[in-house]
């Protein structure tokens, strides 16, 4: 088996891997780097020129796993493209909106990079996706396969439609033919969230485990329990509403947004917060919520009866006067972007709220240090009245609002990542999708607890034999 990392190997950026197993070439994920624009955001697809690509598998619809698919498909038009059914539905919404956003960013001057694909391309491509159920054997043998290659999707727990990919084939080894059993976790969560149950994994032993390491350098994540975070989050919302303030909850449109709405619904039903509290949402996260609801009987759910659309929501007011009216009453605003990126709704609302101590800004996901969200968290930690720049044009403003980060991750924390190694007992672990410090921590711990397991930290563009 040969393996090549096409994505950045020292950060949580674009995910993209090439694997050759028993003569069949596969690309696992085709992500785009969310911090870059244009060609710089793409994986180095030219490295595929001399390699076979029979199939492309997209594990879930996050931009850093799906975003570059249209570009990849132009390069390997003969390859078949596979994903779960919910991911295919999400791709039909997210790729066109990515095309629109790229064009808009170039036109408004926020980037000089040309869009890497347009609307026409993504519309044409969507007919080519092959959508599959979980737990079904798929024959992915390629043109030059030396033996049949079987794949199987496992529920990954991370966001709607997310799967881990299991591959199995017989390969010639130094001591004759042997069965190779490979699993790519992609982004995964062992534990349930508010909507999504925890992930499922293949039975041991495995040959090779491609393991995500997003939270590998985050000691705090393993110390918090979901139950305690949920309670603290509910109490924080209740506190803000009780003093007549409003709470902004910046979210990622796919996953965190729907999970947060499910939590708010729970808080209302349990009278943690007043049932009549208005909840404002907007744009894409509503469309995505519709796909959550539509697929609730075909993909794993904690409660298939629950519908995100049943959580009463109002469209966020479009005009300043109507927004002023909305802010006069205590309310909750669940809007993207999750990191308060400039020129997004959450950023504009944060600018309105941070100056007043009655309001709250509550993060329910990760905010990078150099993002406006990260800067706001840092300023708030220094005490009331500390200045923050949320928008370069608006300039610095003082922070008096309550600003807290809650930990509701859709990723396995680092003890759980070790637990995955324990569960699947791989002979080799390949660490992907995480910062260098995260990978080092996982490598040290796996090598300490499982001395028979080999741990590899691949470099981008350097092929390894597994
Ligand atoms: Zn993800």
Question: Domains of the chain, with CATH numbers?
Answer: 2-218+412-465 (3.60.15.10), 226-405 (3.40.50.10890)
CA geometry: angle at 35 spanning 78 and 290, to 5°? 70
- Rounded to the nearest whole angstrom, what is the distance from the C-alpha of residue 187 to the centroid of ligand 1? 5
CA distances for 299 relative to 25, 56, 291, 304, 308, angstroms: 28, 21, 11, 9, 15
Distance, CA of 40 to chain centre: 20
47-95 pLDDT tens trace: 999 999 999 999 999 999 999 999 999 999 999 999 999 999 999 999 9
Contact 133, 174 (CB under 8 A): no
Percent of the chain with pLDDT over 90: 81
Confidence of residue 258 (pLDDT cuts 50, 70, 90): very high
Predicted local distance difference test score (pLDDT) of residue 10: 62
The label of the residue with tokens 């003969």 reads 78
DSSP string computed for 9-29: SSSS----EEEEETTEEEEE-
Confidence of residue 446 (pLDDT cuts 50, 70, 90): very high
Confidence of residue 22 (pLDDT cuts 50, 70, 90): very high
387-432 pLDDT tens trace: 999 999 999 999 999 999 998 888 888 889 999 999 999 999 999 8
- Rounded to the nearest whole angstrom, what is the distance from the C-alpha of residue 169 to the centroid of ligand 1? 27
- Rounded to the nearest whole angstrom, what is the distance from the C-alpha of residue 186 to the centroid of ligand 1? 8
- Rounded to the nearest whole angstrom, what is the distance from the C-alpha of residue 428 to the centroid of ligand 1? 23
CA–CA distance, 58 with 164 (Å, rounded to integer): 10
- Rounded to the nearest whole angstrom, what is the distance from the C-alpha of residue 244 to the centroid of ligand 1? 36
Q: Is the pLDDT of residue 121 over 80?
A: yes
- Rounded to the nearest whole angstrom, what is the distance from the C-alpha of residue 61 to the centroid of ligand 1? 7
- Rounded to the nearest whole angstrom, what is the distance from the C-alpha of residue 13 to the centroid of ligand 1? 10
Confidence of residue 275 (pLDDT cuts 50, 70, 90): very high
Predicted local distance difference test score (pLDDT) of residue 222: 74
Contact 51, 18 (CB under 8 A): yes
Per the prediction, the chain carries an average pLDDT of 94
Confidence of residue 220 (pLDDT cuts 50, 70, 90): confident
At residue 201, what are phi and psi to the nearest 5 degrees?
A: -140, 150
Mean pLDDT lowest among 136-140, 159-163, 215-219: 215-219
- Greater confidence (297 vs 124) lies with 297
Length of the chain measured in residues: 466
- Rounded to the nearest whole angstrom, what is the distance from the C-alpha of residue 243 to the centroid of ligand 1? 36
Q: Is the pLDDT of residue 318 over 70?
A: yes
Alpha helix positions (H), 369-434:
372-381, 414-424
225-245 pLDDT tens trace: 889 999 999 999 999 999 999
Predicted local distance difference test score (pLDDT) of residue 216: 76
* C-beta neighbour count of 130 within 10 angstroms: 13
* C-beta neighbour count of 304 within 10 angstroms: 12
- Rounded to the nearest whole angstrom, what is the distance from the C-alpha of residue 64 to the centroid of ligand 1? 7
Give the list of residues 6+ apart from residue 157 with CB closer than 8 angstroms, or none: 188, 189, 190, 191, 192, 193, 196, 197, 198, 199, 410
Q: Is the pLDDT of residue 9 over 70?
A: no
- Rounded to the nearest whole angstrom, what is the distance from the C-alpha of residue 268 to the centroid of ligand 1? 28
What would you measure as the largest C-alpha separation in the chain, in angstroms? 75
pLDDT average, residue stretch 89-114: 92
């Amino acid at each position: 088996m040969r393996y090549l990392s096409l994505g950045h190997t020292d950060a949580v950026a674009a995910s993209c891997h090439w694997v050759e197993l028993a003569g069949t070439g596969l690309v696992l994920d085709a992500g785009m780097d969310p911090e870059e624009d244009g060609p710089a955001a793409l994986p180095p697809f030219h490295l595929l020129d001399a390699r076979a690509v029979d199939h492309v598998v997209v594990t879930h619809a996050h931009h850093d796993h799906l975003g570059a698919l249209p570009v990849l498909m132009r390069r390997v038009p003969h390859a078949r493209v596979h994903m779960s059914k919910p991911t295919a539905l999400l791709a039909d919404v997210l790729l066109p909106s990515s095309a629109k956003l790229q064009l808009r960013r170039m036109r408004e001057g926020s980037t000089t990079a040309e869009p890497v694909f347009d609307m026409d391309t993504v519309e044409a491509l969507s007919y080519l996706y092959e959508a599959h159920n979980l737990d079904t054997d798929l024959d992915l043998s390629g043109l030059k396969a030396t033996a049949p290659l079987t794949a199987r999707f496992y529920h990954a727990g991370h966001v709607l439609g997310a799967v881990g990919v299991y591959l199995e084939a017989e390969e010639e080894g130094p001591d004759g033919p042997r069965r190779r059993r490979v699993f790519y976790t992609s982004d995964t969560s062992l534990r349930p969230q508010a909507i999504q149950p925890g992930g499922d994994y293949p039975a041991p032993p495995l040959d090779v485990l491609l393991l995500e390491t997003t939270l590998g350098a985050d000691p705090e994540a393993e110390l918090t329990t979901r139950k305690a975070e949920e309670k603290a989050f509910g109490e924080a919302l209740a506190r803000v509403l009780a003093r007549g303030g409003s709470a902004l909850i910046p979210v990622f449109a796919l996953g965190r947004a729907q999970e947060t709405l499910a939590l708010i619904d729970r808080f209302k039903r349990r009278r943690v917060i007043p049932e009549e509290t208005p909840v404002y949402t907007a744009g894409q996260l509503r469309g995505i919520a519709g796909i959550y609801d539509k697929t609730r009987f075909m993909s794993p759910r904690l409660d298939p009866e629950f519908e995100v659309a049943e959580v009463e929501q109002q469209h966020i007011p479009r005009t300043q006067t109507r927004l002023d009216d909305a802010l006069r009453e205590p309310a909750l605003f669940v809007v993207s972007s999750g990191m308060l990126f400039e020129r997004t709704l959450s950023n504009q609302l944060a600018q309105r709220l941070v100056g007043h101590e009655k309001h709250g800004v509550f993060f329910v996901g990760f905010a990078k240090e150099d993002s406006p969200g990260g800067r706001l968290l840092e300023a708030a930690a220094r005490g009331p009245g500390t200045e923050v720049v949320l928008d370069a044009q608006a300039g610095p403003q003082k922070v008096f609002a309550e600003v807290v980060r809650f930990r509701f991750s859709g990723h396995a924390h680092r003890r759980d990542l070790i637990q995955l190694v324990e569960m699947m007992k791989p002979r080799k672990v390949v660490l992907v999708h995480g910062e260098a410090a995260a990978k080092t921590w996982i490598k040290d711990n796996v090598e300490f607890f499982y001395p028979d397991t080999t741990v590899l930290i691949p470099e981008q563009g350097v092929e390894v034999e597994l």
